[in-house]
C-alpha cells in the first residue's frame, strides 16, 4: 500500500492531495472526486493526527496509507484540499505560497483573510482570479443559501432574504454523529449524556447560535459568517439576515428562507428560476423534503414555496452537504482550475 495513488500521468492532469483525509468531510470529497471522474495524475492523502489508527483510509475503493505532510518533501503538488478542523487548516495557510500549489480551504481557517476569495463555483467562479494560491470554499450553510438565492437574484432580482439554517451534527465530524447517538441512547435509558462536542443536550432539542461564544455553532456555522460569505458570493447589495441552529439530525442542512423581490410575481414564475438546473429538484406538496428523506441524496430539494405578500415568499430547502454541497463545490473549483490551466508555480 502506498500513500500515493497514481492514475497515469497525462498532459493537463494535476497532482492532488487531501489534507486530513480521514475526516468525514474528506470522505465526501473523495466520493465526489471519484463520481465526477476528476482527472488527477496522482492523489496523496495526508493527516494532521499523530494517532496511528488514523493512518489508513481508502480512495476509489483501494486502501491507502495516510502520512503526515512535510512541506520540504511535498514534491510535485498542484492542488490541495484542506479537509480538517479550523485548527488543522491554520497550520497550512502559508504552504501554498511557500510551496507553489493551489489550496482549496474547506476548514474555515482562511475566513478572516481579506485576500482569500470565497468561491461558489456555480455562482462566482470569476472570483478565483488568474493566479490564486488559496481559495475558500464557503461554510456549508453559506454554500447552500447562496446556491438557493443565486437563481432568484440573477433572474428576478432580490431585495432581501431572512433565513433560519438548521445545521446537522455531521458538520462536527464522526465525533458529532457519535455524541448525538450516545445522547439519544442515554435519554432513552435514563443514563448520563456526553456533552463534549455540543456543550449540552442536543438530542430531542434545538441549540441556537446565541448559546455559543461568538455565536458559532459546533461545526463552524455562525450567523455573521454566513451573512458575510453569502454577500461575498452574490454581491454586497443583497441584504441577508441569518440565524443558525444546531439540529438533532445526522445529515442534511435545511433552510427556511423568507425572500423579498423587487416586484410582485406569482409562485409559478418564482419556481421557473430553478427548473432545468441539475442543482435543484422541485418537490410537490408533501414530497420527500426532510433531512431524513434526503440524507445521501443530491441535488438540493426545494419545496414549500408560499406567497407571504405581493413580492415576498417563504421557501423550504434541504441539501446533504456530504453528498453534494460544499464538497461538490470544492471539486468544481478544482475542475475550474484545470480548465483554465492554473497549476503550481515555482515559489
Q: 323: pLDDT confidence band, cut at 50, 70 and 90?
A: confident
Quick check: 172 and 321 in contact, CB under 8 A?
no
Distance, CA of 289 to CA of 307 (rounded, Å): 19
Mean pLDDT calculated for residue range 279-298: 90
- Averaged confidence pLDDT in the chain: 91
On the 0-12 / 13-18 / 19+ scale of CB atoms within 10 A, 290 is: middle
Q: Which superfamily does CATH assign the domain made up of 4-138+327-339 to?
A: NAD(P)-binding Rossmann-like Domain (3.40.50.720)
Q: Assess whether pLDDT exceeds 50 at residue 2.
A: no
> pLDDT tens digits for 229-280?
999 999 988 899 999 999 999 999 999 999 999 999 999 999 999 998 888 9
Is 141's pLDDT higher than 70?
A: yes
Q: Are 24 and 30 in contact (CB under 8 A)?
A: no
Rounded distance between C-alpha atoms, residue 249 and residue 166, angstroms: 9
Task: State the fold for domain 142-322.
Answer: Dihydrodipicolinate Reductase; domain 2 (3.30.360)
Calculate mean pLDDT across residues 118-142.
94
Virtual torsion, Cα 319, 235, 274, 292, nearest 10 deg: 10
- Using 50, 70 and 90 to split pLDDT, how confident is the model at 7? very low
pLDDT number for residue 3:
46
Task: Read off the pLDDT of residues 53-85 as tens digits, 9 standing for 90 and up.
Answer: 667 788 888 888 898 999 998 888 999 999 999
Q: pLDDT band for position 98 (50/70/90)?
A: very high
- What is the radius of gyration, based on Cα positions, of the chain? 20
Kindly list the domain boundaries of the chain, sorted by start residue. Answer: 4-138+327-339, 142-322
**pLDDT tens digits along 187-213:** 999 999 999 999 999 999 999 999 999
pLDDT value, residue 346:
66
Task: Report the C-alpha gap between 69 and 92 in whole angstroms.
Answer: 10
Looking at per-residue pLDDT, the higher value among 268 and 304 belongs to 268
What's the rounded mean pLDDT across residues 130-153? 94
* Angstrom distance (rounded) from CA 255 to CA 314: 10
Distances (CA, A) of 344 to 76, 187, 201: 8, 52, 46
Amino acid at each position: 500500500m502506498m500513500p500515493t495513488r497514481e492514475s497515469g500521468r497525462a498532459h493537463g492532469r494535476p497532482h492532488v492531495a487531501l489534507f486530513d483525509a480521514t475526516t468525514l468531510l474528506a470522505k465526501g470529497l473523495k466520493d465526489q472526486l471519484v463520481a465526477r471522474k476528476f482527472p488527477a495524475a496522482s492523489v496523496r492523502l495526508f493527516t494532521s493526527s499523530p494517532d496511528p489508527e488514523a493512518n489508513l483510509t481508502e480512495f476509489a475503493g483501494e486502501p491507502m496509507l495516510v502520512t503526515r505532510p512535510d512541506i520540504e518533501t511535498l514534491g510535485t503538488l498542484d492542488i490541495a484540499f484542506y479537509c480538517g478542523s479550523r485548527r488543522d487548516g491554520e497550520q497550512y495557510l502559508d504552504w501554498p505560497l511557500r510551496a507553489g500549489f493551489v489550496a482549496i480551504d474547506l476548514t474555515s481557517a482562511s475566513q478572516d483573510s481579506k485576500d482569500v476569495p470565497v468561491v461558489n463555483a456555480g455562482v462566482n467562479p470569476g472570483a478565483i482570479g488568474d493566479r490564486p494560491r488559496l481559495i475558500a470554499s464557503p461554510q456549508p450553510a453559506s454554500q447552500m443559501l447562496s446556491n438557493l438565492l443565486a437563481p432568484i437574484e440573477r433572474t428576478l432580482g432580490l431585495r432581501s432574504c431572512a433565513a433560519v439554517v438548521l445545521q446537522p451534527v455531521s458538520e462536527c465530524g464522526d465525533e458529532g454523529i457519535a455524541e448525538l447517538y450516545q445522547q439519544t441512547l442515554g435519554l432513552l435509558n435514563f443514563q448520563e449524556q456526553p456533552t463534549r462536542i455540543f456543550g449540552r443536550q442536543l438530542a430531542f432539542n434545538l441549540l441556537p447560535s446565541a448559546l455559543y461564544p461568538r455565536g458559532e455553532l459546533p461545526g463552524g456555522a455562525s450567523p455573521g459568517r454566513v451573512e458575510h460569505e453569502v454577500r461575498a458570493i452574490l454581491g454586497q447589495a443583497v441584504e441577508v439576515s441569518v440565524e443558525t441552529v444546531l439540529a438533532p439530525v445526522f445529515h442534511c442542512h435545511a433552510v427556511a428562507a423568507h425572500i423579498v423581490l423587487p416586484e410582485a410575481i406569482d409562485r409559478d414564475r418564482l419556481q421557473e428560476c430553478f427548473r432545468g438546473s441539475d442543482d435543484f429538484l422541485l418537490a410537490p406538496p408533501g414530497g420527500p423534503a426532510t433531512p431524513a428523506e434526503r440524507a445521501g441524496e443530491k441535488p438540493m430539494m426545494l419545496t414549500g414555496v408560499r406567497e407571504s405578500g405581493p413580492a415576498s415568499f417563504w421557501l423550504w430547502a434541504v441539501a446533504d452537504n456530504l453528498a453534494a454541497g460544499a464538497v461538490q463545490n470544492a471539486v468544481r473549483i478544482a475542475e475550474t482550475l484545470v480548465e483554465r490551466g492554473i497549476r503550481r508555480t515555482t515559489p
